Amino acid sequence: MNIGIFFRVGMLTIALCAVSAISAQEGKDRPKKRDPMPVYVTPYYDSKGPKVEVGEFSKKLASADAKSVLELAAEMKKEKEKVRTEAMFVLAIRLYDLGHKDDAVYWFYTAQFRARLFAMILDKEKIGGIGAPAFELRAAFGAFQQLSGEYINGYAFGELPKLEKTLAAVLNENKKVADYSKIYPDVKFVSTTSWAEKNTEVSTGLEKLVDLIKTKADFIKEQRKKNGIEGKY
**pLDDT at position 217 over 50:** yes
Q: Does the pLDDT value for residue 226 go beyond 70?
A: yes
pLDDT digits (tens, 9 = 90+) for 160-214: 999 999 999 999 999 999 999 999 999 999 999 999 999 999 999 999 999 999 9
* pLDDT at residue number 25: 34
Using pLDDT thresholds of 50, 70 and 90, give the confidence band for residue 232. Answer: confident
DSSP the chain: --GGGHHHH-HHHHHHHHHHSS-HHHHHHS-SS-PPP--EETTTEETTTTEE-SSTTHHHHHH--TTHHHHHHHHHHHTGGG--HHHHHHHHHHHHHTT-HHHHHHHHHHHHHHHHHHHHHB-GGG--STT-HHHHHHHHHHHHHHHHHHHHHHHHTTSHHHHHHHHHHHHHHTSSPP-HHHH-TTS-B--GGGHHHHHHHHHHHHHHHHHHHHHSHHHHHHHHHHTT-TT--
pLDDT of 53? 97
pLDDT in tens, 8-67: 334 444 444 444 443 333 443 443 447 899 999 999 999 999 999 999 999 999 999 999
Higher pLDDT, 232 or 119: 119
| 95-153 pLDDT per residue, tens | 999 999 999 999 999 999 999 999 999 999 999 999 999 999 999 999 999 999 999 99
pLDDT at res. 127: 96
Which of 27-31, 69-73, 202-206, 227-231 bottoms out in mean pLDDT, i.e. has the lowest?
27-31
